[in-house]
Amino acid sequence: MYLLIRILIVSLFSLPVWADEYLANVMQHIAPPQSQLAINIWDIEKNSSVYSINEQTLMQPASIQKLLTAVAATKQLGTDFYYETQVYIDGVVVQQQLNGDVYIKFSGDPSFTREQLKQLLTTLKTKDIQHINGNVILVSPTSESLRAPGWVWDDLGICYAAPVSDFIIDKNCVRASLSPLADNASEIIIDAQYPVEISTKAVFKPNIDVTQAKAQFCELHMQRFDGNRYRISGCYPGNQTISLAVAVNDPSRYAKDVIKAILNDKQVNYANLIISKQSIPPSAQLLATHQSEKLPKLLKIMLEKSDNLIADSLLKNIGQDFYRQTFNSDNIEGLDINGFTMGAKALQSILIELNLPFNDANLVDGSGLSRYNLLTSAQMLSVLQLIDSDTRFQYLTEFLPISGKSGTLKYQQHFNKPPLKAAISAKTGTMLGVENLAGFIQAKNGKHYAFVIIENGLTPDAKQTRLAPFSALLLRRLYDLQP
């Protein structure tokens, strides 16, 4: 009997102790010398720690922050949440003329497209409205806090950092191309549907190889001006056309210009096109509504593709809903409950309400783009544990990128081939100097682990010369861990 008990004790406690020593030894050989690391590995079945290092150190999370947003959106908004964009008319239609105004109410739908806007405005024709003896009013009831504190200036003209506004059309992103001319000068090619102005002074350098561009100081620059005007300058190696994805600088003006073009194309006349924060008059008649996909579909896109615009749009909605429920109208008067600051405060409050240890975190946005975001690997592990154990959030695991199969892990080297292929479902978090991964791995020994790997301070040169990402090296050892 004594021997049986001894065997049971050894079997219960030897693996975590042995695994910790094994992984600590592995770390001595694979830990990058220049990076700062914070790691948690958790045995889900045994509900015990396998390995941790620097788990209480505050680090930049980058896009693994989207896991926090997904949990908070599920808790606060519910899985039936969706965005609505609506068209109202206020007046009487007589002989193809509306004696009154048209209201277009935007809601910050991050998935709303120009084609969907066209379909909404086509309903004016179904009402036989050819002329509007009044205004077309774009209604935006919320604040235009477009960018979170700590977003890097260099990112602001690029589509992954598009401004977060009530006015979103085609992700507030303009597609164009930069093409070489015979004298190695350049020209911008852009579809006429985009109401922006992009000029170029950039030159192509056929004698410079792409790999030598940095050493030759050959790089492109973009300046942003009022009125959605841009200028490209600098140089680009080679002589091949390149694609550009330019973030709209002024979303409200862009929306006005797009609507103006659509109405002109449909030959609908009107007095003025204006933007207002006024409420829709009670006398107005709802003409048409577009509904986005419900929250789970939005979160699937957000987590799989690491969509920043969806994450930060939802953050604003979380803040609006949270503070409207927390305070009455008198208490929130004068507060910007629609901006990033209140959204981030609501995000942190919701996580604390869920008994997660986020009191000491610094949360600024929903996407992880801000350099001001700071959290610990232990805090991120608590989110994974909640997602794994709480039935309200378990559906989120289905939306995580799968190594070698989907999302941001589909084509990543060392993750898209055996043994890690299909073994990992995790959220990536990458920006300059940061490479993080948080999720779950099914090891060869049949065990299921939750893990958080945060690596900050990774220089571009170190990233280029390494044999493999640190996270891939560590997870390969974890995958091979013996039972």
**CA 174 to each of CA 109, 194, 247, 271, 304: distance values in angstroms, whole numbers, following the listed order:** 17, 7, 6, 28, 22
Beta strands of 106-209 (E only): which ranges?
131-132, 135-139, 173-180, 186-190, 197-200, 203-205
Please tell me which residue in 111, 145, 186, 306 is annotated as part of the active site. 306
Q: What are phi and psi of 53, to 5 degrees?
A: -150, 135
Strand partners, 232: 200, 222
Q: Tell which residue, 196, 81, 85, has the closest CA to residue 139.
A: 85
Are 409 and 441 contacting, i.e. CB atoms less than 8 angstroms apart? no
Q: Which residues contact 127 (CB under 8 A, 6 or more apart)?
A: 89, 93, 98, 287
427 membership: H or E segment, kind and range: strand 424-431
**What does 92-124 look like in DSSP terms, one character per residue?**
EEETTEEEEEEEEE----TT--HHHHHHHHHHH
Are 344 and 150 contacting, i.e. CB atoms less than 8 angstroms apart? no
Please tell me which residue in 35, 52, 66, 256 is annotated as part of the active site. 66
Read off the amino acid at residue 166: D
Helices 340-353 + 66-76 axis angle, to 10: 80
Strand partners, 39: 53, 453
Cis peptide before 33 (omega within 30 of 0): no
| β-strand pairing of 434-442 with 448-456 | antiparallel
**What does 212-249 look like in DSSP terms, one character per residue?**
GTTTTT--EEEEEETTTEEEEEEEEESS--EEEEEE-S
Q: Rounded to the nearest 5 degrees, what angle is found at the Cα of 139, between the Cα atoms of 349 and 148?
A: 35
Specify whether 66 is catalytic. Answer: yes
Structure token pair of residue 413:
């080297």
Please tell me which residue in 63, 143, 145, 165 is annotated as part of the active site. 63
**What does 435-473 look like in DSSP terms, one character per residue?**
EEEEEEEE-TTS-EEEEEEEEE---HHHHHH-SS-HHHH
Are 312 and 366 contacting, i.e. CB atoms less than 8 angstroms apart? yes
Read off the amino acid at residue 449: Y
**Helix (H/G/I), strand (E/B), else coil: 7:** helix
Are 296 and 115 contacting, i.e. CB atoms less than 8 angstroms apart? no
Q: Which residues are catalytic?
A: 63, 66, 306
